[in-house]
Structure 1
Amino acid sequence: MSRSPVWGITGWKNAGKTTLVERLVAEISGRGLAVSTLKHAHHGFDLDREGADSYRHREAGAREVLIASGTRWALMRELRGAPEPSLDELLAQMAPADLVITEGWKRGPQPKVEVHRPGLGRELMAPGDPTVRAVAADADVITDRPVLDLNDVPSIADFILDELGIG
């Protein structure tokens, strides 16, 4: 895996994964740690807009387009029929950080917190997945994993950092 410690946030659609990742990034980076994220999208996506120079480069057939400015840079790589890169391959592309949080990647090997809202009527993933180390829920849940209050982000951050041995 990556040179950086990796922890995943997983769960079913509309459980609140993105909100939890956003809040964890703010909490953990607020403690002075460098946090990066890696989001898995199940459908195609585009960061570019039609008509932009970079969009035109990609449409013309460029395999990679790097856009740079004084405040950020982004590299877009077109797979053009190549297989989707693995989590490890993507992590290897990232600069070192104190922590990389993944969103999605349900079947990835990284340890995870499952976001679960019993009111949505979906079953827990945790019983069949040993990589799920805890469940963050908004109601009581019966499981053999630690259950964390979904709204207590500092405690979820503490759990993740303690599990990874990050001070």
Structure 2
Amino acid sequence: MTARASAELPAPFFDFAMSVLFVFVALFMLSTMDTPRPPQAGVLTPKAEFLIELTWDDGSASDVDLYARGPDGKVVYFGSRRTEVMFLDQDNTGNGNGGVADRREIVTVRAIEPGDYKFNVHAYRLSGPVSVKLRVLKLNPYAVVAERTVTLDTQGQERTLAAMTVRADGSVEAFEANVKMVGK
């Protein structure tokens, strides 16, 4: 080999190394770029502060309803599905929901509105005794506020299963209550 030939050998290696380096830098830049997408008109990002979940025996033909009363005194239920801050996201009517065996009703509280909240269950239609469970979850940060399970055995039966006081800072305290909301 001549001196000139040995000096030319590194050039292809240098080109290859630079190409590999360029690819790695480009991949790194792509992976670290955070390009927010512009919001689409008419599309809302759902946000919830509290989630109230009522469940009962899967596959049951019974229709159990969740009633939620907020600090403004307004009640959310199947006949009035929302207020300014509370929404009935799902109403399950037992066998009236087609092939869906999961028995669940959900109310969300989508803002911190200080005051007292009360949550009732109502046996709208029973096919027999049914075990119902109510959970009140604080989502930001996550915490279980209340959880209670009871058996409903009489059609028209109504029970207050949870109540809470929400403060302006978002903190919450559960308390016992017994209120009627059906037919009010």
Confirm or deny a common fold (TM above 0.5).
no
Query: Which of 1 and 2 has greater Rg?
Result: 2
Flag the structure with higher strand content.
2
TM range (shorter): under 0.3
